[in-house]
Amino acid sequence: MNCQEFDKLIVDYIEGDLASNQNKAVEDHLQHCNKCKIAFENYNEIILNTNRLPNFRCPDTVIEKVYSSIPAKKRMIPKLTEIYWNISGSLSWKIRYAVAAAAVVLTVLIFYPSGEKPGYDQQIYTAEEIEKAKRDVEIAFGYLRYSALKAESAVETHVIKEPLNKSFKITINNILKPLFNGG
């Protein structure tokens, strides 16, 4: 190995990336060539000294400035309430309230799927009060069924602007079925 060949292999030799025969050739050359030996010692020393240069800590003020420049959270998906108000313009007030009621009922269904009810005080009702409540519930379900259909078509027209996926419709119907059947 001559000095030029040695020079080309220094980086890999330091990293330990040479094949064993090349490694041995480099070491032999270092033993026999005093010029390269000194050069190699200096080369190593400059690496060591550069390694020892301090790594500074980025000042906190920089990070504070960065965080203060970041805009507040942007919502990429419109809120459900925004969708509701966008489509509600085409609905009558009865439908609007019914859609809102449907949203509440669905929320309850989602969060209490096992039929668990939110806590309320036990109370005894008269037969008359129960009959009136049943009638009110039936009327409400009527609105609900109607509003579900209206909401479906409103979503198709104003939000997704194409017919709703069939499987999605089936899912909605399955969720609402127990209600329509008085379940």
Partner 1 sequence: MKKIRYKKAVIDYKDIIYNQAFYFTGNKEDAEDITQEVLLRLWHHFNNIKRTSLKAWIMKVTRNLCIDYSRRKKEVFLMAVNDNDRESTIWENLPDERSNPENEVINIDLKEHIAKTIKRLPEKIGNIVIMRDIQDLKYEQIAEVMELPLNSVKVYLHRGRKLLLKNLSHYYKNYKSDFNLE
58's tokens: 């980025």
Q: How far is the CB of 59 from partner 1 (least distance, A)?
A: 6
Q: Does 62 participate in binding partner 1 (rule CB under 8 A)?
A: yes
Residue 45 or 136 with smaller CB distance to partner 1: 45
Residue 31 or 107 with smaller CB distance to partner 1: 31
Q: Does 66 participate in binding partner 1 (rule CB under 8 A)?
A: yes
- Give the integer Cα–Cα distance in Å for 26 and 118: 80
Q: Does 32 participate in binding partner 1 (rule CB under 8 A)?
A: no
Chosen residue from 20, 35, 89, 120 binding partner 1 by CB under 8 A: 35
- Give the integer Cα–Cα distance in Å for 111 and 108: 5
Burial class (CB in 10 A: 0-12, 13-18, 19+), 36: buried
